[in-house]
Structure 1
Amino acid sequence: MSRVLVLYYSSYGHIETMANAVAEGARATGATVDVKRVPETAPAEVAKNAHFKLDQPAPEARVDELESYDAIIIGAPTRYGRIPSQMASFLDQTGGLWARGALNGKVGGAFTSTATQHGGQETTLFSIITNLLHFGMTVVGLPYSFQGQMTMDEIVGGSPYGATTIAGGKGERQPSQIELAGARFQGELIAKTANKLFG
């Protein structure tokens, strides 16, 4: 079976929760799954004063270990419709992997969180997907076969480009059951794809 990395950055825990749901879906396929986070680059005092969730148990990832995975699923919150500097800094260090084509042909996907329904979910997903395409990866989104994203019964995240959640303007909203189901669905689909290619 394939090896899958769920790589994320989370300031307040919303993406951390989504990352664990993505991993749960991937594990359901029999894949070996690691959940890792990128290093926090904000000064400690700034992060503390902003009430960042600093007690996340996931280990920090290293750039040099990315090539050992068959699939990499990247999650990050939005920053003005794009990825935050913490994730960008990590990905900016992958030039050596790119130059060697170390990630060519591997499977990738993206998931995100925004404060509002229209706060940049799809542009943030595409800012992650752009990196995956430059690496030569095969991108797997969240197709409409996951019907939860079509509901009109409640406010819900989700996009054909990847799983999403809506956190609220003050981070007061946690991922809903539908949003977590979407994350599990995408994780499972990506792992199934990687299993077919590498398993």
Structure 2
Amino acid sequence: MPKVLVLYYSSYGHIGTMAEAIAEGARDAGAEVAIRHVPETVSPEVAAKAHFQTPVHPEIESVESLADYDAVVVGTGTRFGRMSSQMAAFFDRAGGLWASGKMNGKVGAAFTSTGSQHGGQETTLFSIITNLLHFGLTIVGLDYGFQGQMNGEEVVGGAPYGATTVAGSSGQRQPGEIDLAGARYLGARVARTAAKLFG
């Protein structure tokens, strides 16, 4: 049974909801799954003023604990077309883990949320994937076996590079069923790939 970590940062809950769906897909595919969030880097005063939501999942124990998993799926909202500073700060502390080579050959994937349809989803996914590649992970994307991402009739997330959702300019839009289905599909793909590599 592969061990999958869903690691995320979420200010307003959208990414936390997507993390749950990814975990569900991975569990349904036979994986043991943990969901963790990275530490907040802004002060409690700033977080309160911006109405940040308190994450419902435990905080990750340490950077080094990533090596305990066969696969890591990383999610964060976009900040001007790249990953959030909170997620970047977490990876910036991982030099020792990188140097150890303990992540080489593990499975990685990415997910994100933006305020608009063209708010930098793909570049944010690539900013996550770039980090994962430097750690030696084998990347799994959201292939076109998930046809929901081809829907042109409504606003939906999804890209070949990972699962996504559109939150709206003020966070008013929650992940829809197609977005969540894409997240579950990605979680299942990660779990199946990890099982083939480590089973």
Give the TM-score normalised by the residue count of structure 1: 0.98
Q: Mind listing any 5+ residue stretches in structure 1 that lack a counterpart?
A: none
Match of 2:59 in 1: 60
Match of 1:27 in 2: 27
Show the 5 A alignment for 1:89-168.
89-168=89-168
Please give the secondary structure, in 2, of the residue aligned with 1:161. Answer: coil
Please give the secondary structure, in 2, of the residue aligned with 1:6. Answer: strand
CA distance in 2, matches of 1:139, 1:94: 19
Deviating above 4 A after TM superposition, structure 1's stretches of 4 or more consecutive aligned residues are none
Match of 2:176 in 1: 176
CA distance in 2, matches of 1:73, 1:82: 16
1:52-82 Cα distance to aligned partner (Å, 9 max, x none): 002x221111212100100000000000000
CA distance in 2, matches of 1:197, 1:156: 32
CA distance in 2, matches of 1:25, 1:189: 8
The alignment yields a C-alpha RMSD, in angstroms, of 0.5
CA distance in 2, matches of 1:159, 1:64: 30
Please give the secondary structure, in 2, of the residue aligned with 1:96. Answer: helix
Match of 2:12 in 1: 12
CA distance in 1, matches of 2:191, 2:97: 22
Report sequence identity in percent: 65
CA shift for structure 1 position 39 = 0.5
CA distance in 1, matches of 2:63, 2:9: 14
Match of 2:50 in 1: 50
In structure 2, give the amino acid aligned to 1:94: A
1:105-149 Cα distance to aligned partner (Å, 9 max, x none): 000000000000000000000000000100111000100110000
Give the TM-score normalised by the residue count of structure 2: 0.98
Match of 1:39 in 2: 39
Q: Mind listing any 5+ residue stretches in structure 2 that lack a counterpart?
A: none
